[in-house]
Amino acid sequence: MEGIVINSGSSFELTIAGGTDALLCELKALLDGTDSGTVEDFIAKTGITCKEIEDYADKYRATWTAECKLQEEDEDYEFRLPVEPYCNLDALFGGRPLPLDLSRSVARNFGVENLAFYIRNRKALNEPHFVWHTHRDRGRFDALVRFGLASMGATSIKKCKEGEEFRLISLPFGLSMGQVGLWLAYLETRAFLLSHTYRMARPLSVDPAVQEILKGWEIMGAGDDAMCPLCRKMDGKRVGFRDKLPPFHVGCRCARVEIFD
C-alpha cells in the first residue's frame, strides 16, 4: 500500500493511502484542530486509510479472533496481545468499511453522527420514542427527521403537550443495522487511532537553551491495567537521542519527560 506521510519529522510517521495532496491538507487541518468537522466524516467521504493502523489490524486480527474463541470456551483464560492500541479492539479488528461509493453517499446524505445516534437509539422500528422539548437529545431527534431517518408525530400520551413522538424509519440504501454498526465501529476506531497517534507523535518544542543540557528522556507509561506488554516494558526506561521515542505503536499512550542530569 503506497501513501503519503502526513507528519514527517514526528516520532511516529503516519502514512495515508487513497488521498490526493489537497485532501491530505484537509485531513491535517482536521487533525490539528484548525478546521471543524470530524475525522469520522472525512474517512467516510474519502475512503482514506492509514497504513500503520491497517498493518496493525492485519497483523493481529487472526490471533485476536483465535484468542477470543479460547476465552469464550474458558472464562478464566486471560490473554494480551504483545502490542495493544488503547481502543476498542473488537471494533478495530471487527469493524468493516462500506464500499466507497456507498460510504460516501451515506455520509453525505445522512452524516456519520446522525447514523451513530440512530443506531444507539434503535428500537423496534414502530416503537415510538417520546422526547420532551427540553430533552438533551431533542436536537438530535429533530436532525433525524430532517435527514429522513425518523418521523415525528403528536404524542399518544394524553394531556402531554411538552413533547412529541419519534419513530425511526428503516435505513436507506437497503442497509442493515449490522452493516451500519460495523461501519461505524470501523470509522470510530480509525478516526480515534489516527487523531490520538498524530497528537502523541507531535514533536515537542524544546527551548534551545534547555536543549543544550538535555541528556535524554524518561518514558512514562499510562500506569494502568490497560497498559500493553510492550509499553509496560518501556515504562520508566531512559532513552537517548538515538533511541525510539513514543508512541511505540498506534494508540500508544506513553509520554516522555526530559532528563537533565
DSSP at 244: P
* Rounded-to-integer distance, Cα 49 and Cα 3, Å: 9
Residues 93-122 that bind Zn ion (CB under 5 A): none
User: Which of 118, 248 has the CB closer to Zn ion?
Assistant: 248
Q: How far is the CB of 83 from Zn ion (least distance, A)?
A: 6
Distance of alpha carbon 242 from the chain centroid: 31
Query: Which grid coordinates belong to 123?
Result: 428500537
For residue 86, what is the enclosing H or E element? none
**Cell 487513497 maps to which residue?**
18
User: Which of 12, 248 has the CB closer to Zn ion?
Assistant: 248
Pick the binder of Zn ion from 106, 112, 149, 254 (CB under 5 A).
254
Pick the binder of Zn ion from 129, 168, 252, 256 (CB under 5 A).
252
Instruction: Determine what percent of the chain falls in helix, strand and coil, rounding each to the nearest 5.
Output: 45, 15, 45
Size of the site for Zn ion (CB under 5 A): 6
Q: How far is the CB of 147 from Zn ion (least distance, A)?
A: 39
Site string for Zn ion, 210-239 (x = CB under 5 A): ------------------x-xx--------
User: Which of 91, 230 has the CB closer to Zn ion?
Assistant: 230
Q: How far is the CB of 205 from Zn ion (least distance, A)?
A: 21
User: Which of 166, 248 has the CB closer to Zn ion?
Assistant: 248
User: Which of 80, 122 has the CB closer to Zn ion?
Assistant: 80
**What's the residue count for the chain?**
261
* Rounded-to-integer distance, Cα 236 and Cα 41, Å: 38
Question: Is residue 194 a contact residue for Zn ion (CB under 5 A)?
Answer: no
Q: How far is the CB of 196 from Zn ion (least distance, A)?
A: 11
* Rounded-to-integer distance, Cα 130 and Cα 193, Å: 36
How many other β-carbons are positioned within 10 Å of the β-carbon of residue 138? Answer: 15
Q: How far is the CB of 202 from Zn ion (least distance, A)?
A: 15
Question: Is residue 250 a contact residue for Zn ion (CB under 5 A)?
Answer: no
User: Which of 104, 237 has the CB closer to Zn ion?
Assistant: 237
* Rounded-to-integer distance, Cα 36 and Cα 40, Å: 12
CA distances from 165 to 88, 121, 125, 137 (A): 33, 13, 13, 13
User: Which of 10, 114 has the CB closer to Zn ion?
Assistant: 10
Please identify, among the stretches 87-95, 122-130, 175-183, 253-261, the one whose residues bind Zn ion according to the rule CB under 5 A. 253-261
How many other β-carbons are positioned within 10 Å of the β-carbon of residue 153? Answer: 10
Q: Point out which residues bind Zn ion (CB under 5 A).
A: 228, 230-231, 248, 252, 254
